[in-house]
Structure 1
Amino acid sequence: MVSAVAVGGAQAQSIAQALTTAYDYAPDLQSALLSAKSSAENIALANAGKRPTIGASLSGSYNWSVVNNRFDDSTSLSPGLSYNQTIFDNGKTDADIEAARAGAEAAEYQIRSTEQTVLLAVVQAYMNVYSGRQLVALRQENRDFYSAQLQSSRDRLDVGEGTRIDVAQAEARLAQGDAAYRAAVSSLEISQATFQRYVGQAPQNLDPSHNFSRLIPSSLPAAIAAAEVDHPALLMSKAAIRAAQASSASAKAQFGPKASLSGGVTGTATDPKGQRDGISGSVSFQITVPIYAGGAIGAGVRKANIEQIKSEVDAMSAYDQIREAVISAWAGIQSADAQISAANSAESAGRTVVDGVIQERDLGTSTTLDVLNAQAELTTAREARITASTNKVIATFSLLAAMGHLTAADLGLNVEVKSAVRYTDAVDDVWAELRSVKE
C-alpha cells in the first residue's frame, strides 16, 4: 500500500479533527444560524399583534405678542399617554404566531441540514486530498519505473540485445507516466485548496481511519427507517406544512371582524405659575368588518391554499430524495467493498506478473512492451484500490448524512452545537423591549 505524503508534521490529522475545526470555522453554518435567529424574530413580531402598544408624548408651545408696546408671552406643556390594543381579530394573530413558530422550527432544521452539507463536503475534501497524495506518490513511483525501463532499453540496445522499437516504446510510456503524474499533482493542489476552504487551514498529515462506521445500521430497511424519523429535510418539510397551514388560516381570518381598543390621557400646564390647568382622557372602541378589498383578500386566501398544497408536495419530494440517497449510499458501501477486494487481488497478481515478465524479458521470451503493459495493469489496479477505499469512506459518511445523523452531536465532535433554540425562546419575553428601553 502506498503511504500518503506526510505534510506539516508527524502527528496525523484525523477526520474527526478536520470535522471539528470545520464546524467552528464554516461560514455557511454561521449564516444558517443567523438566518434561524432572524426567523425567530418573526415570532416576536407576530406576538406583537396581541399585545398593546403604549406610548408617551410631550408637546409644548411658546407664544408671544406685542400690543401697544406691551410684550406678553406664555408657554404651555401637554404630557400624554396613549394605549392601543387589538382585542379580537378573528384568530388571525394566533395563526400568524403559529406560522412564525413553524418557520423558526424549520430554520432550526435548516441549521442541521447545512451542518450535514458542510461536514460531508469536509469528508469529501479530506479524502480527495488523502487519495490525491497517494496517487501522486504512486504515479511518481510509476514514472520512476518507466524511466528505469527506458534506461534498461537503451543499455540493451547498446550491447545489441534490444531494438530501437523497445526504446521508443519506453520513451512513449515514460511521457505518458510523466503526464499522469503532473495531472495528479494539479488535482491534488485543487483538492488541498478545497480542503482549506472548508476547514480554514491547510491539510496536514492525514489519517482517514475512523470509528464512525459504528453508526451505520445493520440493514438497509433500518437505515431508511432512521432517515424517515431523523433527517432534517423531512422535519423541515413537516414544519413548512404547519407554517403553510397557519398562513392559510391567517388569510381566511381576514374575512372576519376586527375589534380594537384605544385610549389616552393628556394633561396641560402653563407658565408662569406652572400649575396644572387640567387633565383629559378618552377611550374608544372600534369594530371593522371587511366587505370588499379589491380582490386582495380572496387572492390572499387562494395563494395561501396553493402554498399549503405546494408544501405538502415538497414534503413528498423530500421523502423520495432522502430514500433514494439512503439506498444509493448503502449500495455505494457494498460496491466499494467489492471493488476493494477485487483491486487487492488484482494488485497482488499484478506484482507477480510484473516480476515474471521482467525475468522473461531478460531471458528473451518477452519484450519491453510486455513489461510496460504489465506495469500499466498493476498501476491501474493500485489506482482502483485507492479510488475504491476513498469511495468507501465517502459512501459511509454519505449514508450517515442520508439518515440525518451526520451532525456534530451524532458524531460526538468536541464543539458547541450551533442552535437558535435558546434565542427563539428568548424572543417570547414580553418585557424584553421595555427592559432594553430602560437600559
Structure 2
Amino acid sequence: MNLLNLCKRHSRRRWVIGFLVSVNMGLSAANPAAAADYKEALARVLDDHKRLLGVQADLRASEAVFGKARAAWAPELAVSGNIGHSSQRVGADNEASSLAPREMTFSLNQLVWDFGKTRAEIDRAALQRQLSSLTVVTTKQDLLLEGLTAYINLHRARVTLDYARKSIDNIRRQTGQEESMVALGSGLPTDVLQAKSQLAGAQARGVLAHGALDAAVNRYVALYYEEPPELASIQPIPIPFEVLPATLEDAIDIAFESNSLLKRLALQEQMAEAEFRRVKGDELTPAFNLIAQAKFKENTDNIRGQRKERLIKFQMDFPFNLGLASLRSREAARENLLSARFRFDDAQDTLIEQVRNSWQGLLTARGNADFLMNQARITAEFLELARQERLLGTRSLIDVLTGETALINAESFATSAEADVGIAAFTLLRTIGVLSLDVLEENQADLGSH
C-alpha cells in the first residue's frame, strides 16, 4: 500500500472530524502561535536537557582522548634530577670523604615505528569520537520523539477530559429533565434509573480521564523541565505526511542509510577491527624508538667535579610473555571483532522488523482513525434522526440520551485515534533515523502552502 496516497486521502477526509468536534479541538490545522510554542519548547529540550548535556560531555571527552592518541607520534621529553649526600670511607684508619652529588637528565624519545599499534589507537579514538557524536544525534532524536509524544498525549488527555466532562454534564441534565417528567407523571422511572446508571459510568470515565491528564502533565514536566502551557491553548501537532516515505521499501532503504543504531554498530565493528590491529602491533611485534639523552653530573660516583654525557641511540623493545599471553590477547580481539560483525548483521535484521512494525503501526492507526471518524459521523446522523423522532413521540428521552452519549464517546475515540496516528508517524520517522526539528519546520511550511 502506498502510504503517501493513504495520507493524502486522510487529508481530504479531515473535514469529517472538524464537523464533529468543536473548533478549539479541530485537527485540520493548528494555531500558528501554539505551533511556535511547542517548537520553542522542543528546541529548549534539545538545548539543555540533562540527558543531552551528559552525552555532549562524553563527546568532549572523546575529542580529548583523540587528541591524546594523536600526540603519540610526537616526541616525548623526560626530565629527571636528583641531589643528595654521599660518604665513602676507604680503610679503617682513613677519614670518610663527603660529597654532595647532583645529577640532571634530559631524555627525548621519538617513536619511529610500532607496526600499526599507534595508528590503530588513533583510529580507535577517532571512531570513538564519531560514536560519541552519533550518540548526541541519537539522543536528540530520542528526546524529540519523547517530547512530541508527551505533547500529543497532553493534548489527547485534555480533549478526552473535555469530552468526559461534556458527557457527564449532558447525562446529568437529561437525568434531571427525566426526573421532573416522572414527578409530573409523564416520565418513566426505568428511564431515570438507566440514566443514572449511564451517569455513573460517565463519572468513572471522567475519573480515568482526569488521572490520564495528571500523568500526561507529569510526563511533560519531567521532560521539558517546565509546566505545560495553558491546557485550553494546546493544539494538535500537524502530522508530517509529506515527509514520510512513500513505500515500505523506501522506508527500509532510508533506515539502512540513516538509522543511528545501525550506524553505532557499524562504528563499533570498526573499533573492534582497530583494537585487533592494536593488539597485534602492541603484543606481537617490536617497537622502534630513536632516543637522545643528555646528562649533567656533579660529584657523582664519588668523583669530584662536573661531567657531561650525551647519548643518541636507536632502540628496539619487544616484550614477550612466555605464558603466551600475547596470543591470548590476539585471540580475544579476533573473537570480539567477530562478535561485533554478528551484532551488526543481527541489527540489520532487527531494523527491518522495526521499520515494518512502525510502518504497520502507522497504517493500523490510520485505518482505526478512519473507521472511528466514520463511526462518529454515523452516530451524529443517528442522533439527528433520534431527536426528530423524539419530537414526534416515537423515541424515548433515554434513546436520545444514549445517542448523545454515544456521539460524545465516538468523538473522543476519534480524537484519541488521531493522536495515535501522530505518534505512529513520528515513531516511523525516528525508526528510519530522519526525525528532527527541520522535519517539523518543513511540515509546517507544507501545511501553510496548501
Task: Give TM-score, length-normalised by structure 1.
Answer: 0.81
| Displacement of 1:255 | 1.4
Aligned to 1:122: 147
Residue from 301, 325, 336 that aligns with 1:307: 336
Distance (Å, rounded) in 2 between the aligned partners of 1:159 and 1:211: 53
Distance (Å, rounded) in 1 between the aligned partners of 2:375 and 2:440: 35
1:238 maps to 2:292: no
1:338 maps to 2:361: no
Aligned to 1:213: 241
Contact 1:129–1:191 (8 Å) recurs in 2 = yes
Contact 2:163–2:409 (8 Å) recurs in 1 = no
Secondary structure class of the residue paired with 1:12: helix
Aligned to 1:194: 219
Aligned to 1:100: 125
Contact 2:69–2:125 (8 Å) recurs in 1 = yes
1:350 maps to 2:372: no
Residue from 36, 59, 71 that aligns with 1:36: 59
Contact 2:171–2:405 (8 Å) recurs in 1 = no
Partner amino acid, structure 2, of 1:181: G
Distance (Å, rounded) in 2 between the aligned partners of 1:171 and 1:321: 52
1:392 maps to 2:421: yes
Contact 2:154–2:213 (8 Å) recurs in 1 = yes
Aligned to 1:297: 326
| Displacement of 1:286 | 3.6
Partner amino acid, structure 2, of 1:386: T
Q: How many residues align?
A: 401
Contact 2:240–2:439 (8 Å) recurs in 1 = no
Q: In terms of mean alpha carbon deviation, does 303-312 or 289-298 score higher? A: 289-298
Matches within 5 A, 1:39-438: 39-61=62-84, 77-204=102-229, 205-210=233-238, 212-253=240-281, 254-268=283-297, 277-358=306-387, 360=389, 365-408=394-437, 411=440
Distance (Å, rounded) in 2 between the aligned partners of 1:282 and 1:186: 81
Indicate how the Cα distance of structure 1 residues 285 and 135 shifts in structure 2: closer, same or farther if over 3 A, else same.
same
RMSD, aligned α-carbons: 3.1
Q: In terms of mean alpha carbon deviation, does 92-101 or 123-132 score higher? A: 92-101
| Displacement of 1:151 | 0.6
Give the number of the structure whose residues are more often helix, by fraction. Answer: 2
Q: Deviations over 1:340-377 (max 9, x none)?
A: 33222221221232344355456654445534443343
Aligned to 1:424: none
Secondary structure class of the residue paired with 1:207: coil
Contact 2:152–2:237 (8 Å) recurs in 1 = no
Aligned to 1:67: none
Distance (Å, rounded) in 2 between the aligned partners of 1:10 and 1:263: 71
Q: Which runs of 5+ in 1 are unaligned?
A: 65-71, 271-275, 414-439
Partner amino acid, structure 2, of 1:80: T
| Displacement of 1:121 | 0.5
Q: Which runs of 5+ in 2 are unaligned?
A: 1-20, 88-96, 300-304, 443-450
Aligned to 1:437: none
Distance (Å, rounded) in 1 between the aligned partners of 2:41 and 2:25: 17
Q: Deviations over 1:98-120 (max 9, x none)?
A: 22222221221121111111100
Q: Deviations over 1:107-166 (max 9, x none)?
A: 211211111111000010010001111111111100101101211221121012223322
Indicate how the Cα distance of structure 1 residues 62 and 240 shifts in structure 2: closer, same or farther if over 3 A, else same.
same
Distance (Å, rounded) in 2 between the aligned partners of 1:80 and 1:252: 33
| Displacement of 1:209 | 3.9
Distance (Å, rounded) in 2 between the aligned partners of 1:211 and 1:388: 13
Aligned to 2:50: 27
Sequence identity (%): 22
Distance (Å, rounded) in 1 between the aligned partners of 2:440 and 2:84: 69
Secondary structure class of the residue paired with 1:81: strand
Secondary structure class of the residue paired with 2:234: strand
Distance (Å, rounded) in 2 between the aligned partners of 1:236 and 1:181: 45
Indicate how the Cα distance of structure 1 residues 210 and 366 shifts in structure 2: closer, same or farther if over 3 A, else same.
closer
Q: In terms of mean alpha carbon deviation, does 279-288 or 139-148 score higher? A: 279-288
